[in-house]
Structure 1
Amino acid sequence: MSGLAFAQAPPPPVPMRFLQVALAWGVVAGLWLAWQGEVALLSRWTPATLVLVHMLALGLLGNAMLGSLVQFLPVAAGSPLPYPRLVPWLHAMFNLGTVLLLVALASQARASALPAGMLLGGSLAVFPVLALVAVLRGSGQRVVRHGIGLALIALAMTTALGLLLLAARTGWRVPAPPGLVDLHAMSGTLGWVLGLLAAVGSITLPMLQGTHAVPSAGSRMWQASLLATLGIVAAAQLKLLPDAAWRVAAWPFAVFSIAVFVLQARAPHRRNPTLRRFWQAGCAALLAASVTASWSGTPLLLVGMLVLGVGLPLLVVGMALEITGFLTWIALRQRVPRGIRVPGVGSLFEEADKRRAFAVHVIADSLLVVAALAPVMARTAGFAIAIAYAVSLHGQWHCWRQAATWRRNDG
């Protein structure tokens, strides 16, 4: 951890805003599923399903990923985002654009599609550019910065494809080629989310879970293989390779999951047991998704729910709860006068609250998997998902409030 520049971290409320909104979007996604019921899980092409998918991909995962970059780039890459005053505006643009996009997907309305494209396209064009500048001029580990850079390029590609699909769906241009939707989904989940999680995880797994450091050679092999996989998927969708070639996209989820299991099993200093459980459960879901995707005839909706509804969110929620305690500690140190001792990081977010959140998420995610197979359970799963994220959000808010209340009571 000696190479981490904690002094360059941004003001805690900045990344905290992203993490809070991410969990709030999880509540909204659950309520949407409970309202729409089985129609949201009957087909991947219904408006209700498209809205649910983008609530998870943009609202939940998008806010969490962008917020992690705001915090992680100064600490691990040695370079904060340039023009930091733009970050709150980009956050507002991104979330307002997401809301308008959901309206456009639900109703195919041109009136909301245009501002949605401008706000989302603008925020997701400026943010990667700023982040890439930070990566290029940073002084952190080169392999980590390369991993972040590749994820940002995948984000730009995902955004461009998404705008093209939005224009086709709302009638601004001719219908998009059939494979464009899958390419958009793969570049987002594989290149952007999984790519960034792997890059960030190479630092946070040793730091927060006590594992051995990830070998640089292994990280470089992963990055090259992930890039090759995206190339194969793109070639398959463009009919340059057989259609079945896209199934190679399943292997990175398996490799990532197995690598996490091995690192955790061999960890010399096991820390944060609930975070470990979040990651174990999330990686189990990703591994299950990779296995089921390799079977012909497997419903893609089930694979998508295992990845987008269960696996990736569990990884993100576990990290969000752990980072909340760290951000609260930083905020407390900044507010309390020198010479006054403050509680340790581990005591700010009680482990019992994390265990409670984990248990509720496991129950809710299990119901979501059942609902993907039996859509009649969709409303029950939706309410459970909303409750799980509400429990996590409440614990997060309670922890964050301690930075203010502790000073009043004890400062």
Structure 2
Amino acid sequence: MSGLAFAQAPTPGLPMRFLQWALAWGLATGLWLAWQGEPVLLSRWTPATLVVVHMLALGMLGNAMLGSLVQFLPVAAGSRLPCVRCVPWLQGAFNAGVALLLVTLCGQVRALALPAAILLGSSLALIAAFALVAAMRGNGERVVRDGIGLALLALLATASLGLLLLGARTGWVAPAPAGRVDLHAAIGSIGWMLGLLAAVGSVTLPMLQGTRAVPVIASRLWQTAWLATLCLVAAAQGGVLPQGAWHVATVPFVAFAIAVFFLHATARHRRNPALRRFWQAGCASLLAACGVAVWPDRPWMLAGTLVLGTGLPLLVVGMALEITGFLTWIALRQRVPRGIRVPGVGSLFDEAGKQRAFVLHAIAGVLLVTATLAPVLARVAGVAMALAYAVSLHAQWRCWRQADGWQASGPG
């Protein structure tokens, strides 16, 4: 922690905007599933399913991970984002683009495809470019900055493929083969999401969960295997390697999950039990997805649900709730006069509140996975998911408003 430049952290309200939008999109996803029901879980190609996938991948996970970069890069990389005043506008453009994309996917409204592509493409490109500059010019640990940079390059590749697929869907370009959709999903989940979680986790696991520090050599081996996996997956999609090579895509998920379990098991000073449970449950879901992915008949819906519906969201939601308390504490420190004590992070967002959120997300995750096998339960799973995110969003709001309460009335 001593190497973290907390003085360079941005205004807490900036990353908080992203985290609030992330949980709001999770709530919207649950409501959509409760409304649409079985069609969402019958096939990966239905419009209703595509809407859920992008609500989670862009709306929920996208906001949370972009927000983590806004907070994490100045602190861990020692470099603020260039043009940070533009970030709120870019976040607004990003979420507007997501909304327009969802309408396009759901209703085949081609007139909205172009503005969706412009808003999403430009906002993601600019945020990624700003973050890459910050990662390159920073003075934090090189291995962490390299990991973030590689994840950002994967984000740009994912966005480019997504725009091509949108063009194919609306008739701007030739129809895309199914393999391109799989490549888009693989680079997005492995390259961008898992890559960023691993880079950020190498710092936050010791800081927030009390594990041992991740050795630099282990991080370098991870980055090498991660990059090799993406190359092999791309080669399989291009026909250079047999389709069986797609199984290698499970390796980064297995390695990440096992590393987290090992670090938890060997932790000297265990902290934040609710966050640890979020991460353990999320990693268990990722391991289950890898087991499902190597089945002979490849039940992609079940594997995708375990990764995108439960595994990655559990990791991200747990971190979002933990960071909310931390951001609230920073806001208090910035607002109250020196010499006045402020509550500790743990008292701003109590463990009991985070534990309630975890139980609800775990129940919703079990119901969602069960509904993938028995789609008749889809609406029940949607209601459970909406409830879990609603409770998390309310708890987040209650924690954050404490900073405003102190500003208005003081500690007394």
The answer to whether TM tops 0.5 is: yes
- Secondary structure in structure 1 of the residue aligned to 2:124: helix
C-alpha distance in structure 1 between counterparts of 2:265 and 2:402, whole Å: 34
C-alpha distance in structure 2 between counterparts of 1:355 and 1:271, whole Å: 13
Q: Deviations over 1:306-361 (max 9, x none)?
A: 00000000000000000000000000111111111110111100111111101111
Tell me the equivalent position of 1:214.
214
Equivalent pairs: percent with the same residue? 72
| 1:178 to partner: Cα distance | 2.3
Stretch moving more, 176-185 or 48-57: 176-185
Q: Which amino acid aligns with 1:321?
A: L
1:410 aligns with 2:387: no
C-alpha distance in structure 1 between counterparts of 2:389 and 2:127, whole Å: 26
Q: Which amino acid aligns with 1:64?
A: A
Tell me the equivalent position of 2:67.
67
Q: Which amino acid aligns with 1:410?
A: P
- Secondary structure in structure 2 of the residue aligned to 1:235: helix
Stretch moving more, 12-21 or 293-302: 293-302
Correspondence list, 1:188-207, <5 A = 188-207=188-207
Gapped regions of structure 1 (runs ≥ 5): none
Tell me the equivalent position of 1:119.
119
C-alpha distance in structure 1 between counterparts of 2:358 and 2:205, whole Å: 18
| 1:177 to partner: Cα distance | 2.4
Tell me the equivalent position of 1:243.
243
| 1:172 to partner: Cα distance | 1.0
Q: Which amino acid aligns with 2:162?
A: G
1:380 aligns with 2:380: yes
Q: Deviations over 1:42-73 (max 9, x none)?
A: 00000000000000000000000000000000
Q: What's the TM-score, normalizing by structure 2?
A: 0.99
| 1:406 to partner: Cα distance | 3.1
Q: Deviations over 1:175-233 (max 9, x none)?
A: 01221000000000000000000000000000000000001000001001101100110
| 1:108 to partner: Cα distance | 2.0
Q: What's the TM-score, normalizing by structure 1?
A: 0.99
1:270 aligns with 2:281: no
Tell me the equivalent position of 1:186.
186
| 1:378 to partner: Cα distance | 0.3
| 1:3 to partner: Cα distance | 1.0
**Residues paired across the two proteins, number:** 411
- Secondary structure in structure 1 of the residue aligned to 2:318: helix
After TM superposition, what 4+ stretches of structure 1 lie above 2 angstroms from structure 2? none
C-alpha distance in structure 2 between counterparts of 1:251 and 1:372, whole Å: 24
1:23 aligns with 2:23: yes
Tell me the equivalent position of 2:310.
310
| 1:299 to partner: Cα distance | 1.1
C-alpha distance in structure 2 between counterparts of 1:88 and 1:360, whole Å: 31
Q: Which amino acid aligns with 2:303?
A: V
RMSD over aligned Cα atoms: 0.7
C-alpha distance in structure 2 between counterparts of 1:356 and 1:12, whole Å: 25
Correspondence list, 1:12-91, <5 A = 12-91=12-91
- Secondary structure in structure 2 of the residue aligned to 1:277: helix
Correspondence list, 1:85-234, <5 A = 85-234=85-234
Q: Which amino acid aligns with 2:405?
A: T
C-alpha distance in structure 2 between counterparts of 1:108 and 1:133, whole Å: 37
Tell me the equivalent position of 1:365.
365
Q: Deviations over 1:255-310 (max 9, x none)?
A: 10000000000000000000000000000000100111111113101000000000
Tell me the equivalent position of 2:260.
260
Gapped regions of structure 2 (runs ≥ 5): none
C-alpha distance in structure 2 between counterparts of 1:230 and 1:179, whole Å: 14
| 1:409 to partner: Cα distance | 5.2
Q: Which amino acid aligns with 1:279?
A: W
C-alpha distance in structure 2 between counterparts of 1:287 and 1:349, whole Å: 30
C-alpha distance in structure 1 between counterparts of 2:24 and 2:310, whole Å: 16
Q: Deviations over 1:89-140 (max 9, x none)?
A: 1100100000000011112221110000000000011111111100110000
Q: Deviations over 1:125-181 (max 9, x none)?
A: 111111110011000000000000000000000000000000000111110122100
C-alpha distance in structure 1 between counterparts of 2:129 and 2:410, whole Å: 43
Q: Which amino acid aligns with 2:52?
A: L
Tell me the equivalent position of 1:348.
348
